[in-house]
Structure 1
Amino acid sequence: MIATPLTNDLLHGVAELEPTPRGITPHRLPAWVRQQFPDPQLLAMQAQPSGARLIFSTTASRIELATHPVRITYRGADRARGRIDIFIDGVLHTRDELTGGDRNEIDLQTGTSSAHPGPAHRTVVAGLPPGNKQVEMWLPHNETVELIDLLTDEPVVPEHSPRPVWVHHGSSISHGSNALAPTEIWPVVAARTAGGVELRNLGLGGSALVDPFLARVIRDTPADAISIKLGINVVNLDSMRLRSFVPAIHGFVDTIREGHPDTPLVLVSPIFCGIHENTPGPGAVDPATLGTDHVQFIATGSLGDTAHGRLTLEVIRGALRSVVEHRSEDSNLHFLDGLELYGPVDADTLPLPDGLHPDAEAHDLIGRRFAERVFAPGAAFGGVPDRH
């Protein structure tokens, strides 16, 4: 078997690769961000390679990828394991559920954590047909993985995509929470539905907080289309009031425009979430549901308490729409109401299982609707797939 070095030429959708004793760890945020603000939640989420994949061509009949997963679990709440999706010439060939790896278990009642080490995992794809083929190996969206080695029975050639790049930033929903596989998270569904688009996913669970460093990352990242979906985490953490939120959004957009003055940019408001529509945060886990199969999130603020600038999703949608209206000189800045992606009627038919995150079917719905509304001819990104 031939061992191919795991380098940036092979890996798409990440900022950089960090050498480790076992191999390499992909990071979706650059080292300067991780050093400047080493927040444990942010560090954990950016290390989960949501949207990242290895892409290469080969005549190999057998491919093996060794990884060492690291996952976060919560005592009393089962979470699905990560998966690696392998596409051959654009068609799903294998969906491999991870086993082993290290597990960091958190007790939500006490805040304590415990470490449980485990063995590496090996993904094997065998019996591939002869001839040259394109291989995409999508890494798990919900577990960190160290990449240990890539083995094949014939050489591999990295593929450099000429496709235009779509950069997306959002919360755990954009990260893929509650989706079952890396190609079933809604940004990947949208990118694949649109066709001809290279996704760079900056969905970061619990960490879409209008952070200036994220705006600088987007500013400095090559992009032909940009979308930012902000609001739910600001309410979850009760981290801002309306007076600070609106200028922060303007500043976020201003920073992005320093590097992308004319790039199509869509500001997306939150999807429907009943617990926070009219009730401010902070959000919390309902303690009565711990230890059950149906852990639920709740809002701990007071219903309708917006008089002093406290934020709800309804308030945020109006604020984001107003930001775009007040920047009318920017013809490439667009607003998309998140209720068009998932609204109250959808919540009746496809309810959020935990009160906060969409399930696999809703991820697919959101992704297809985003592609229809944003990538369609004449829409904000309508001409992007043809730019290159």
Structure 2
Amino acid sequence: MLTIPITPALLRGALELEQTARGVLPHRLPAWARAQCPDPQLAMAESQPSGVRIAFRSRATAIEVDTVPTRYVYVGVPARPPGKYDLHIDGRLAGQASAENADTVILDMATGGVTKQQGEISTLRFTDLPDRDKTIEIWLPYNETTEIVALRTNASVEPILGLGRKIWLHHGSSISQGSNTDSPSASWPALAAAQGGVELVNLGLSGSALLDPFVARIVRDTPADLISLKIGINLVNTDLMRLRAFTPAVHGFLDTIRDGKPTTPILLVSPLYCPIHEDRPGPGAFDLNALAMGKIAFRATGNPDERAAGKLTLAVIREELRRVARQRMANDPHLHYLDGLSLYGPADFLDLPLPDALHPDAAAHRRIGQRFAAFAFANGGPLCLR
């Protein structure tokens, strides 16, 4: 087996690689941005490599990846299944694996206590691969911070250059990051990218799609041919701002992007359907009754009467985003709008309900991805550059 150095040329979807004591840690936000917001939720989300994959061409029939993921465990709640690594050969799923060991962060919701335990290195093995030159991609878990310790193959590898595909940069919430789909290449953005034939850079940040100025600058400065921005749910469930602040924040976010990308197509997407926050403001919270039964679910804690004072709900955000988009599109022919209810609406909730009252399951991710691709990437669609 040949030991292959992990370099930026072999990583797609990561904006930065951090050298660690054990290997390299892919980041989806650069260090300067992380320094501006030392929020633990954001730190966790951006270090979980949604959309990040090790990619190369090789005749290798055997591949080994040494890795150390970080998993989060809630006291009193059954541990979630370990994250998956998806092996794709020439664009098709050809294998899956999970790390046996991991660093563990134990969270006690009753006391607020946090305990960290260091785990051992795990080795993932993919064998009996086709003996021919092929494109190999190993998608890293969307829900586990992942240190890559080593990569070994039984044949030489070459970075993938000149794919000729357009780069699609997407920013959104935990649903865009992948919660709660089956595996990293089965998140709705990954599925939409595959259907649309585009190269994905996923800035879906769990709990952290909050119109942060540093994110707007990252979107502005990161190479991308196509951009989509899914805005809403985190602003409600964090109860971060009122309508008075929301409208200029959306304008400022878009203005910053346009400073560097004046003609790049941008698709502004309003929230998917989520009954607990449609007309009830945040903040969101864990459902303690569900936790008592060993399940994770969420609820809204705000008072609907507070909408009159400017508190945000999903219905309020959809209406305002539609108004802002219509206003800006009068002078920006490259800005487009998509109502999130057309991706997942009330009828979809009846058919494919949200298991934890907040995040879609794998089947709903597939539906959302297919609908987004059919709208955005089809001939004549807002993100079609054919």
- Alignment partners' CA distance in 2, 1:209 and 1:72: 23
Gaps of 5+ in 1: none
**Deviation, structure 1 residue 295:** 2.1
Q: 5 Å matches for 1:177-188?
A: 177-188=179-190
TM, length-normalised to structure 1: 0.97
Partner-residue secondary structure (3-state), 2:70: strand
Q: 5 Å matches for 1:176-255?
A: 176-195=178-197, 197-255=198-256
- Alignment partners' CA distance in 2, 1:346 and 1:240: 29
Total equivalences in the alignment: 383
Partner-residue secondary structure (3-state), 1:307: helix
Contact 1:80 1:180 survives alignment (8 Å): no
Corresponding residue of 2:3: 3
- Alignment partners' CA distance in 1, 2:109 and 2:383: 41
**Deviation, structure 1 residue 38:** 1.6
TM, length-normalised to structure 2: 0.97
Corresponding residue of 2:85: 84
Of 126-135 and 306-315, more deviation after overlay is shown by 126-135
Corresponding residue of 1:140: 141
**Deviation, structure 1 residue 158:** 0.7
- Alignment partners' CA distance in 2, 1:340 and 1:293: 33
Gaps of 5+ in 2: none
Partner-residue secondary structure (3-state), 1:245: helix
Deviations along 1:64-120, one digit per CA (max 9) or x if unpaired, are 111111122222333221110001122211111222111101112221111122221
Instruction: Read off the aligned partner of 1:102 and give its amino acid letter.
Output: D
Q: 5 Å matches for 1:1-388?
A: 1-77=1-77, 78-160=79-161, 161-195=163-197, 197-327=198-328, 328-383=330-385, 386=386
- Alignment partners' CA distance in 2, 1:14 and 1:377: 29
- Alignment partners' CA distance in 2, 1:330 and 1:58: 44
Of 103-112 and 240-249, more deviation after overlay is shown by 103-112
Partner-residue secondary structure (3-state), 1:310: coil
**Deviation, structure 1 residue 305:** 2.9
Of 201-210 and 161-170, more deviation after overlay is shown by 161-170
CA RMSD of aligned residues (A): 1.0
Of 121-130 and 233-242, more deviation after overlay is shown by 121-130
Contact 1:54 1:138 survives alignment (8 Å): yes
Contact 1:294 1:353 survives alignment (8 Å): no
Seq. identity, %: 51
Contact 2:267 2:382 survives alignment (8 Å): yes
Instruction: Read off the aligned partner of 2:338 and give its amino acid letter.
Output: L
- Alignment partners' CA distance in 1, 2:214 and 2:85: 30
- Alignment partners' CA distance in 2, 1:291 and 1:122: 36
Contact 2:2 2:156 survives alignment (8 Å): yes
Partner-residue secondary structure (3-state), 1:305: helix
Partner-residue secondary structure (3-state), 2:138: strand
- Alignment partners' CA distance in 2, 1:162 and 1:8: 19
**Segments of 4+ moved more than 4 angstroms:** none
Partner-residue secondary structure (3-state), 1:306: helix
Of 284-293 and 331-340, more deviation after overlay is shown by 284-293
Contact 2:68 2:99 survives alignment (8 Å): no
Contact 1:272 1:343 survives alignment (8 Å): yes
Instruction: Read off the aligned partner of 2:74 and give its amino acid letter.
Output: Y
Partner-residue secondary structure (3-state), 2:306: coil
**Deviation, structure 1 residue 304:** 4.5
Contact 2:228 2:266 survives alignment (8 Å): yes
Contact 2:67 2:99 survives alignment (8 Å): no
- Alignment partners' CA distance in 1, 2:65 and 2:292: 35
Of 310-319 and 79-88, more deviation after overlay is shown by 79-88
Contact 1:58 1:135 survives alignment (8 Å): yes
Deviations along 1:213-265, one digit per CA (max 9) or x if unpaired, are 10000000011000011110000011111111000000000000011100000
Partner-residue secondary structure (3-state), 2:320: helix
